[in-house]
Chain A
Amino acid sequence: MRKRNKNFELYSGGTPSLRGTLAKIFILGLVDAGVGFVLMILIGKQKYGFAVFFGIVALLVNWIYLRRGGLPAKYLAPGVLLLLAFQVYVVVFSGYISFTNYGSFHNGSYTETLDAIQQAAVEPIEGAAEYEIKVVKAEDGSILFLGLDASNGKVFLGGENYTKHPWREVTAADGLVVDGSGYPTSLSGVTFLTDDQIVNVEPGVTTMKIPLGPNLDTDGFIATADAFFAQQNRFSYVYDEKNRVMTRLSDNKKFIADEKVGFFKNAEDGELLSEVGWQVRVGWKNYAKIFGDKELRGPLTGIIIWTILFAFGSVLSTFILGLALALVFNDQRIRGLKIYRSIFILPYAFPAFLSAYVWRGMLNTQNGFINNTILGFMGDNKIQWFEQQGAARAAVLLVNLWLGFPYMFLICTGALQAIPNDLTEAASIDGASAWKIIRLIKLPLLLVSLAPLLIASFAYNFNNFGAIYLLTGGGPFLDQSLKVTVGATDILITFVYRIAFSGSIGADYGLASAFSVLIFMLIGSISFFSFKRTKGLEELTQ
């Protein structure tokens, strides 16, 4: 308590400068003006929930900065707000999604899905008349179709609003004039649209549905694909809103909205009305799939083993090379030491995504620099870097070594220089060899200070999406028999990314989110417990 009081005094009091106060008022005013602007938009769009939420956050910010004291909040607020909005929310959202079936086949809400299914499932009414049409405009501004049934020469007129403009026959009595081949050329009360005008009709002539009777769902409608010919269509399904049942008109089969799976499903044989469903909560199903699905379990074990090998191998190889270099070049007698160091860190300064592309080009089997120049002596026995599992894995490890050793070199050099000279001198006076000094004094000290960074590096490489995705894309894809696409260099994160965004069986955000939650927990707990065992985070975890 005493410590807190002392601390409080240290950072409170003093006279704020005028400039500082003015700056504070100015920035806060700017923020409030922005908030006011957004609030107006939100209220204008009648998003009152958002508006209230936003207003409360803004009030909170003002309160934090205008009251006396509460210093920590003043320093933390900007960072915490951004973290909450774009980091914490993302984690929470993924957690929520992992309990749903959200994906490319379960994209929207129930009503959105219903609309989509009905709009898509249209079939022509068999044997019904077809029309050659003119698009015309009525006096009230509605767009109508004037259709000639060429089989009998009859002409019909109608619009989308059945009560106002029902589909009906028009004759000379209505002021219809036709040309020699029966095509209508004028009709009283309507103007014929030119091609240009048709193109500009909103929402578009080709999406218009002109009802054949008062009930669009059952009576069918007239639609055109090209504004010249139209046919009589009907929806393939009729929807019963009360019971949430879709009936297929062709065979009267009933499909009931099943909230468990998010599909319209036939109760007897389980047939789905459509591959497209809506978003529902599925409980632990995604997690159960990860642990229980045989199709997944096989490849998943392989992927996890390779992920650990890749992360471990990357840390180990970069650390060994970086450490060795740091030991060798921690020597003031070397002339041009600075130049050496500057050049060693070049791979780290070169943007990583560019490195990945450069290496991908160089490792190209037929035309790459490596096979043709560096390994040119091997003649036609070219290494198939991206076609074979072993070579591809070696390639990603090699590239990751190149990308990562300068980092290890930098931090090892830093840690070596922090070891007091007295220690090594004392040891050498006692007759210890250079190697013994390294092994028994420098290395243990180094590992103590670097352990947290090595753990962080492991965690980073475990999820090193860029290194794999940009270089091999997870490939080569040797086993095509699997239901899920699995590449030979796929680490967990690239594999999950494919499930989430480019799955061959459609994107499955729910499953991918379940994976990300598990990866998060796995890597989080590995890091947490290894940090606990090292000195690095002593203060945090003791």
Chain B
Amino acid sequence: MTTLQTRHPKAKRGGFIRWFTQVGWKHIVGLVVIVFATFPLVYILSTSLTKMGNIENFTLFRSFYLGNYKDLLTSTDYPFVTWMKNTLILAGATAVISVFISALAAFAFSRLRFKGRRPGLLALILIQMFPSILGLTAVFGILSKLTDYVPAIGLGTKAGLILVYLGGSLGGGTYLMYGFFNTIPKELDEAAKIDGATHTQIFYKIILRLVAPVLAVMALLSFIGTFGDYVLASIVFNTNQQYTVAVGLQSLLADPWTKQWAMFAAGAVMSSLPIIIIFVSLQKYITNGLTGGAVKG
């Protein structure tokens, strides 16, 4: 006890001051950061509830007007529900398929030994560094060729865009997952093998089950990434029935002086709320999903 007191001379004073110097001040820091982190979100929530509907929303929560939500959900010029559906299909399919294909490739890189394994991994990382936004001409070229020959996956189709998204997300996804697979001891594979498991059984029944939470996080991050794509979706889709949420909400802001700011805000709230809830509830696993096991969360 005496050694403890010499290490913390302030501890003697006890009570509030001691609590405050050790822990209490952190609450003040926390509150300041909370304000910084949330005020844009609070602002957009408040704007979605204003009747005026332009960006001139200087006093938060002056009104509680749900009309913007109703307008957006019933509008035919801005078919928000359709946009949500489109986005869910696009981002959902991309997330699930890309995580699965990345996991397949990561398994090969992590567990199997073959010629070109190392250069392959390096190539995966480097190819990701190509500024993909500048590959638009090529992507457009591929899609319009496909439109001529296989219209089902050409311009204006979800399948075509999903393929493009998949191609773009595989490199990074595989690399992250590779790192994470490496943290799973190989002894598990060996034990399963002794029990007579094939490589597919090892892959599906052991590795995939063990990393399931991380797979979920990666799928979610991929979902958010696809959800946020504006540029690709806007060149592939032309009619407002085909729009994604990102392209559609952008079309609401064509003129920032009109009522549509509030509708945009309502759309932003409605489309982001489910993502935020899932994200926060998965946060225990997020660090792993972000860093591929390089950093333990």
Contact = CB atoms under 8 A, between A and B. Distances in A.
A500 B136 contact: yes
B149 A414 contact: no
B26 A14 contact: no
Contacts of B297: 410, 413-414, 417
Contacts of B253: 357
Nearest to B257: A367
Contact of B170 (A82, A331, A413, A519): A82
Contact of A89 (B43, B54, B142, B279): B142
B198 A76 contact: no
A414 B296 contact: yes
A344 B279 CA distance: 12
B202 interface: yes
B108 interface: yes
Interface string A395-433: 000000010001100110111011000000000100000
A345 B150 contact: no
A309 interface: no
A75 B127 contact: no
A520 B37 CA distance: 33
Closest 6 CB pairs of A and B: A86-B167, A14-B198, A90-B135, A414-B287, A349-B279, A75-B108
Given A7-B113, A72-B114, A414-B295, A86 B105 contact: no
Interface string B282-294: 0100111011001
5 contacts: A3-B113, A72-B112, A349-B275, A358-B41, A368-B55
Nearest to B31: A340
Contacts of A16: 198, 200
In this complex, the member of B22, B40, B227, B261 whose beta carbon has the largest number of chain A beta carbons within 10 angstroms is B40
A470 B228 CA distance: 11
Given A89-B138, A94-B138, A367 B276 contact: no
Interface of A: 3-4, 7, 10-17, 20, 38, 41-42, 45, 47, 50, 71-72, 75-76, 78-80, 82-83, 85-91, 93-94, 97, 102, 325, 328-329, 331, 333-334, 340-355, 357-359, 361-362, 364, 367-369, 372-374, 376, 402, 406-407, 410-411, 413-415, 417-418, 428, 449-450, 452-453, 459, 463, 465-466, 470, 493, 496-497, 500-501, 509, 512-513, 515-516, 519-520, 523-524, 527-528, 531, 536-537, 539-541
Given A75-B107, A90-B167, A359-B40, 19 more contacts: A10-B189, A11-B202, A12-B199, A42-B149, A76-B108, A82-B101, A86-B168, A87-B130, A331-B26, A345-B279, A346-B38, A351-B228, A414-B287, A414-B296, A415-B295, A470-B230, A509-B137, A513-B134, A524-B126
A466 B228 contact: yes
B294 A536 contact: yes
A85 B163 contact: yes
B171 A87 contact: yes
A340 B34 contact: yes
Contacts of A14: 193, 196-199, 201
Contact of A453 (B121, B229, B295): B295
A347 B224 CA distance: 12
A333 B26 CA distance: 10
Interface in B146-190: 148-150, 163-164, 166-168, 170-171, 174, 186, 189-190
Contacts of A513: 134, 137
Given A76-B105, A86-B142, A369-B58, A417 B296 contact: yes
Contacts of B10: none
Nearest to A535: B294
A369 B114 CA distance: 58
Nearest to B186: A10
A325 B108 contact: no
Given A345-B279, A361-B261, A20 B200 contact: yes
Contact of A4 (B38, B113, B227, B290): B113
Contacts of B279: 345, 348-349
Contacts of A354: 44, 228, 249, 268, 271-272
